[in-house]
Amino acid sequence: MKEKRTLRFIFALWVAKAMKLALKLLGRNGTYLPGNTAIRLCPNFLGQVGKPKTVIGVTGTNGKTTVSNLVGDVLEKSGYTPIGNRFGSNTNAGIATVLLDSCGLLGSSKKELAVLEIDERMAPKILPYVHLDYLVITNLFRDSYKRNAHVDFISSILQSNIAPDTKLILNGEDLVSNHLCPQNSRVYFGIAAGDAKSTSQGNIIHDILVCPQCGAKLQFEYIRYNHIGRAHCPNCDFGSPDLDYAVQDIDYQRHLLQIDTPSGRQTYRLVGDNITDIYNTVTAVALLSELGLSQQKITAAFDAMQIVKTRFEEDIVGDKRVVMMLAKGQNPIACSRVFDFVRHQPGKKAVVLLNYDYFDKQETSENIAWLFDTDFEFLDHPDINQVLCVGVRALDYQLRCLMAGIPADRAQACPQDERAADMLRLDEVDTVFILNDLYTYDVSVALQKKILEKLQKGVA
C-alpha cells in the first residue's frame, strides 16, 4: 500500500536509479540488483514507490510467465504501454526494479498500467505493499520442496496476503486455488467437461483428495491431470464452481479454441499444442476480457504471436525433427505435463533430459526427491526408443527411469554434457526432444547445434 515517502526512500530511489543507469551503460539488464539495493536501503521501498493506476498480478505454480507475457503482448498490440518484469525477476527485488525504473525522481509513477509476474512464494513480501486490482492464479501444485515446502503452505500465504478488494481470475478446475479468499470478487476459467469422464490419469501426485471443510473423500466427475478437474464433496457444499470462461471446442488441426464467455461464444487462436497451452490461452482471455478488451483486439494480437523460443523451439533436417522444450527441474507437475505431451507425439522419439538444477550442480549436490513425484512412467512408451539422462545427477535420473519400468537399453546416463550428441541413436528416431530447465538453456542450445550438424552431415 502507498505510504508517506521519506528521505530514506528518496535516497534509496536515487541510488537504485543510478545503479540501473550504470548497469545499462555496462550492457547489463539490471533487472534485480537495483531493486534489491533499494529494498536493502529502505525496507518499505515497495510501499512508498509509486504504482501505475491499474496493477495486474499473475501468480501460480505453472503458467504464470506465459500468461503474463501473453497479456502484456496483447495490451501492447492494443495500444497500451504496460510496464512489467518480462525480462526480470518475479521476486520483490525484481518488482521493485520495474517500479523504480518507471517512476520520477520523487517516486511518483508515470505509467497507467502494470502486468507483474509474481512468485507465489514471495507473496508476503510483495502483496502487502503492492495493491493489485486484478490477480490471476493459474493453478497451485506441489513444487520445489526447498523453496515451496507444500502446496497447502503456498495457498495459506496467498490467502493471508491477498487484499479483499482485489478481483481474482481463478482456475475453476483447480480445487486448491479456486476457493481462496471467498469474499473477493472473482471469475473462473477452465475447459468445459465435454466428454471427459476419466477419474484417473495415472499421475503420482494428487494434491487434494479430501474435502478441506469436512474431511470427506471428494467425488471427482473427471480428472484432466493430477488434481485438475471437477469434484464435489458428498457431505457439504464444497465443490467445483461454474465456469465464466469455458473452452467448449478445441480444433488442434486449425489451432482454434471456442470459448464461452459472459459476452457469448468466441473463437481464438491456440498458441501451442499442449493442454497447458489451452489453459494459458483461456486464462489470458479471461483477464483481458475483464479488463474490457474486445474480442477483436485479443484475436488480432493472438494471431501475430509465436511461442517464446526458450520454451519451445523446433528445427527440421530432412525427415527428422529436433525439438527443444522447457521442462522445469524441481517441478514435478511441469515435467510430467511435458513427458505426457512427448509420449503422444507421432513417430519414434529420443528424449534428452537436460533439466538438472544448474545452481545445485555447482556444489555437485541436488535435491532429487522431486524425481519420485514426477511421472517418468509416461516415458515408458514403445515409441520412445531412448531416454538419455544428462548431467552430474545422470545416474539418479537413470535410476528413476529404470524404476518407472523403462528397459535398461533405452534408459542411459551421460554425466558429461558434451558427450550427449554422440550417445544419441539418431538413426532410430524421427524426433529428438531436448528437455531443458530455465537455467540449462545455453547447454541445451549447444547440444541442439551438435545434433543439427550431425543430421546435416548425414552421419546420423
**Residue 427 is part of a domain; what is its CATH number?**
3.90.190.20
Q: What are phi and psi of 164, to 5 degrees?
A: -65, -20
Burial class (CB in 10 A: 0-12, 13-18, 19+), 215: exposed
State the pLDDT at residue 195: 76
**pLDDT at residue 346, as a whole number:** 95
Rounded Cα distance, 25 and 428, in Å: 50
The verdict on whether residue 211 carries a ligand-binding annotation is yes
Grid cell in block for residue 441: 538453456
**141 lies in the same domain as 28:** yes
401 labelled ligand-binding: no
Do both 421 and 296 map to the same domain?
no
What are the angstrom distances between the C-alpha of 110 and each of 52, 100, 104, 133? 7, 10, 7, 18
Q: Model confidence at 339, in pLDDT bands (50, 70, 90)?
A: very high
Domain count within the chain: 2
Do 179 and 328 lie in one domain? The reply is: no
**Domain span at 373:** 312-457
| Contact yes or no for 327/407 (Cβ under 8 A) | no
What would the pLDDT profile of 234-284 be if each residue is shown by its tens digit?
A: 999 999 999 999 999 999 999 999 999 999 999 999 988 889 999 999 999
335 annotated as ligand-binding:
no
Residue 226 grid coordinates = 493430477
| Any domain includes 154 | yes
Longest Cα pair distance anywhere in the chain, in angstroms?
68
Distance CA 272, CA 359 (A): 30
Whether the per-residue pLDDT at 113 is higher than 60: the answer is: yes
Kindly report, residue by residue over 273-329, the tens digit of the pLDDT: 889 999 999 999 999 999 999 999 999 999 888 766 557 899 999 999 999 999 998
Query: Model pTM greater than 0.85?
Result: yes
| CATH label of the domain that carries residue 48 | 3.40.1190.10
**Same domain? 358 vs 285:** no
Looking at the DSSP bridge assignments, the partners of residue 171 are: 189
Query: Strand pairing partners for 414?
Result: 390
Q: Do residues 372 and 280 both lie within one domain?
A: no
The C-alpha cell at 91 is 521476486
> Across the chain, how many H-helices and E-strands are there?
15, 17
Neighbour tally for 150: CB within 10 Å: 12
- Residue matched to cell numbers 505435463: 337
- Tell whether 233 is covered by a domain: no
- Does 429 fall in a domain? yes
State yes or no: 414 annotated in a binding site. no
Residue 375 in grid coordinates: 511421472
